[in-house]
Amino acid sequence: MQTRSLTAEQHELYKRNILLTGVGVAGQEKLLNSGVLLVGAGGLGSPVAFYLAAAGVGRMGLIDADTVGLSNLQRQILHAVPDLGRPKVVSAGEKLHALNPDLILDLHQELFDVRTAADLVPNYDIVIDCTDNFHARYVINEACLKANKPFVYGGVLAWAGQMFTVLPGRGPCFRCIFRDDPPADAPSTSELGILGAVPGVIGVLQASEAIRYILGIGELLVGRMLIYDALSASFCEVALERDSECPSCGSMNCD
């Protein structure tokens, strides 16, 4: 993709970003020329996509095989009642283009599996996990390790959420922390529910993480898990360590 420079209109649109220490015109143009892949266009994908589009990320890939259902609307703010039954990526694409017409969107209405991961992941600067299942996260992990791409994990359930970033060659990967699939009878949001604002909080934090990575500023959540408890309105942080016996990244050299 050809390198793009900010137009006069974009200078005005993003002037509050440009004023920030660590951004400026050069940083805003980094965002404009960056590409982010979102796996999932639901509860986490909605705030992530909205805020990345609003921040001026130039290219975004969305992959989701699902259609919009009524129970989604409680938390999946990219979609509305007129979108019921429509593909989520199509519904999401319309809202994002309305917000940022300059955004280049790659829409994929298909399952995210080993094949699609191998095709898509190498084409983006960073991958954001907006899924709701561990199998997809293991696929993201393997594809990102192979392509040397970072990914930002996010998980939500009931009143709580958590996130951390996998940066190949620096710190633990996803399988270091979650070695095996959860048991088949592990509770899910369909059984325990989910406060709609929780994926909103975690999604906004995921978007911020991706922006910091693209700009090369601040501290990423590498080797650190951030946990949010909506009932107590509190955050805590847990240190994470790389597992030298990890079947996914154990043979990699780490800084």
Q: What pLDDT, on the 0 to 100 scale, is given for residue 186?
A: 82
- Structure confidence by residue, pLDDT tens digits, 188-227: 888 899 999 999 999 999 999 999 999 999 999 999 999 9
Report the SS3 class of residue 56: coil
DSSP string, 91-111: HHHHHHHHH-TT-EEEEE-S-
Numbers of helices and strands, H then E, in the chain: 10, 8
Q: What pLDDT, on the 0 to 100 scale, is given for residue 10?
A: 97
Q: What pLDDT, on the 0 to 100 scale, is given for residue 254?
A: 61
18-239 topology per CATH: Rossmann fold (3.40.50)
Domains of the chain by residue range? 18-239
Residues belonging to the chain = 255
Distance CA 112, CA 152 (A): 16
Residues of the chain under the 50 pLDDT cut: none
- Structure confidence by residue, pLDDT tens digits, 129-152: 999 999 999 999 999 999 999 999
What is the DSSP pairing of strand 160-166 with strand 224-229? antiparallel
Q: What pLDDT, on the 0 to 100 scale, is given for residue 1?
A: 60
Q: What pLDDT, on the 0 to 100 scale, is given for residue 112?
A: 97
156's enclosing H/E stretch is strand 151-157
